[in-house]
Chain A
């Protein structure tokens, strides 16, 4: 299988703190890949580097073999990459529908055509709205379409974030702690949704998550990082029994 998203020797320093110290990973196309590690291991920093929110001090990021270090943050979605955030980052004063539609921003007509309501732009808009409603139906958000994002309960907000990322028609989606703070029921639902995206829409998934049972059951492959460096990688079953990983999470045996 081809490599979809790859990074090599990523190093990020914040002053004296080295958040990432030569991390490499390789996400295969069509897989669900997990990125785990203890708190402060540099997972979110690495995520930000991959989605161009953070400039790396050293190292390269490749999307389908093409280096993306020169691209701006807002261009990544054109290259088929969408992401969600660890702390929910919705457009609070807008409806669920508008939140989802923003995700499809790069598919809209050019600004001038859009604001003058040219027939072409309106047609695109209708099409995108229909698709946004479909996405909402898929995520069981259809009855919330007209509600402001800020009025939704936490679990639903998480799903709206996911819906917004999906509206971009991504080929790869980066999920930063998609089930953090969700109860068991919500976790299971989101887990099923993520699995479906991968299976039915063929979207490659890279996710950071602390919920180990979820990670172990959903991921095809895992990367473990600790103190900003690669610690281990492999199938979930191997990772579960890896001594280094157990030590990193639970500490040394006495």
Chain B
């Protein structure tokens, strides 16, 4: 059956149907609705999770940890995926967010919402400055520069008395406005932040800003010729990325009610978030979600072998880089995209297939890729 429809399309293709814009627009609107339906389903599952019978606080706590990683990974993916700049220093922004909120909570007894906003803004501001400083760096140099930033932040929290080094800062139980929240409440706070961050990323990517990011990634020269201000957009990318990761840092501190330089003073966070987006995929919104689950759940799943998680992470990373360089999300999304491309082609919309798998079918019907 599948074969026949394929052949039918190829038979028609020598004389493609006339360009019918309304049909294409309808099809694309349908795809969009399907996307949203998928997202809403995932969201509904996440909302319902703590209410399931038998789910206890510590399970909600574990999933909240995953969510926090996903938020941090969304932040770094703005930078890595859409502007093509590699950052090995995002743990620095995580730390800035965490310490900002922790100090505010300690000295001013603020709640978690103010913590989130101020932690995010502080990280975003530092990100803005860093964007300006690293304006001319790219590729490996950018990686080294951001790594230096992570070490710098680590040294500061280790040695400046305000941050209380390895002693750490203990935080009172978490509050939203004046209500204290437990593990399940915290789970919902994290989920809300994730939903907002994902919605924001979605909108940003599909706006002129996202286009400008990708333009700078693909060709700086052509982007500037088209009027994209390189300085402006690179600093915007850095600030947004840092803002999101900073919020993840705030949550990361509050979920355990304690922060210390033992956790934030080294660069493993930076590496972990980067691994999450590389494994999951960075230029797709599902990428950080899959990557975040992978990075956090791997040690849990290995149980007593958790010490080997680092090695296994490395192995998976290498395998992904070899077999799915665009990330797992890209591979999982492929059948859906192929199906949609086929529907579009049926509607007379020219489809050019880059995939080598298609070459065989093209050879059978050579006229298929030829467009007038």
| B229 interface hit (Cβ, 8 Å) | yes
Tell me if B203 and A101 are in contact (CB < 8 A).
no
Contact among A82, A106, A115 with B204 in the assembled complex (CB-CB below 8 Å)? A115
Contact bitstring B225-251, A, C-beta under 8 A = 1, else 0: 111111011001000000000000000
Q: Which of A114, A142, A144 has the most CB of B within 10 A?
A: A114
Q: Does B224 reach chain A (CB closer than 8 Å)?
A: yes
B215 at interface (Cβ–Cβ under 8 A)?
A: yes
Q: Roughly how many angstroms separate A93 CA and B230 CA in the complex, as a whole number?
A: 19
Q: Per-residue 0/1 for A94-138: is the Cβ within 8 Å of any B Cβ (1 yes, 0 no)?
A: 100010011101101101001111000100010000000100000
Binds B, one of A7-15, A56-64, A71-79, A227-235: A71-79
Q: Does B33 contact A (CB under 8 A)?
A: no
Residue A148 CB within 8 A of the other chain: yes
Q: CA–CA, A92 to B221, complex, Å?
A: 13
A111 and B236 in contact, given A146-B344, A151-B354 (Cβ under 8 angstroms): yes
Question: B225's contact among A83, A115, A121, A133, by CB below 8 Å, is which?
Answer: A83
Interface centre among A105, A133, A147, A148 (most CB of B within 10 A): A105
Query: Is the Cβ of B226 less than 8 Å from the Cβ of A103?
Result: yes
Query: Does A51 count as interface, using CB distance less than 8 angstroms?
Result: yes
Determine which of A92, A121, A148, A168 lies in contact with B227 in the assembled complex, contact meaning CB atoms within 8 Å: A168
Contact A91 B218 (CB under 8 A): yes
Q: Is B371 an interface residue (CB 8 A)?
A: yes
- Residues of A contacting B224 with CB < 8 Å? 53, 73-74
Q: Is the CB of A74 within 8 A of B228?
A: yes
User: Among the listed stretches B117-125, B153-161, B206-214, B284-292, which one makes contact with chain A, having 4 or more residues with CB under 8 Å of it?
Assistant: B206-214
Interface of B is mostly: helix
Judging by beta carbons under 8 Å apart, are B211 and A105 in contact? Answer: yes
Q: Which residue of A lies closest to B232 (CB)?
A: A111
Assess A105 versus B352: contact at CB under 8 Å? Given A85-B221, A89-B221, A125-B207. Answer: no
Which residues of the partner chain B approach A82 to less than 8 Å between Cβ atoms?
225-226
Q: How far is the CA of A109 from the CA of B351 in the complex (A)?
A: 31
CA distance A143 to B352 in the complex (A): 10
Q: Is A91 in contact with B225, judged by CB distance below 8 angstroms?
A: no
Q: Which residues of A contact B225 (CB under 8 A)?
A: 51, 53, 73-74, 76-77, 82-83, 85, 89
Check B22 for interface membership: any CB of A closer than 8 A: no
**Nearest chain B CB to A59's CB is how many angstroms away?**
21
Residues of A close to B222: CB separation below 8 A? 85, 89-91, 102, 164
Is B19 located at the chain interface by the 8 A CB criterion? yes
Known A90-B219, A133-B21; contact A125-B229, beta-carbon cutoff 8 A: no
Residue B145 is within 8 A (CB to CB) of chain A in the complex: no
Distance A17 CA – B192 CA, assembled complex (angstroms): 61
When C-beta atoms are compared, the residue in chain B nearest to A121 turns out to be B207
What's the least CB distance linking A31 to chain B, in Å?
Answer: 22
Tell me, in angstroms, the Cα distance from A157 to B349 when the chains sit together: 18
Residue of B nearest to A108 (CB): B208
- Is B223 in contact with chain A by the CB < 8 A criterion? yes
Q: Tell me if B350 counts as interface (CB < 8 A to partner A).
A: yes
Whether a CB of chain A sits under 8 angstroms from the CB of B16 is yes
Closest to A84 in B: B225
Inter-chain contact B208/A94, CB cutoff 8 Å = no
The CA of A164 and the CA of B223, in the complex, are separated in Å by 11
Specify the chain B residue showing the minimal Cβ separation from A156.
B371
With CB as the reference atom, state the residue of chain B lying closest to A106: B227
Query: Can you name 8 A-B residue pairings with CB atoms under 8 Å?
Result: A53-B224, A83-B225, A94-B215, A105-B212, A115-B204, A146-B350, A147-B351, A151-B353
Extra A-B contacts (11), CB below 8 Å, given A115-B203, A152-B352: A74-B227, A76-B227, A82-B226, A94-B215, A105-B226, A106-B227, A111-B208, A111-B232, A114-B208, A117-B203, A125-B208
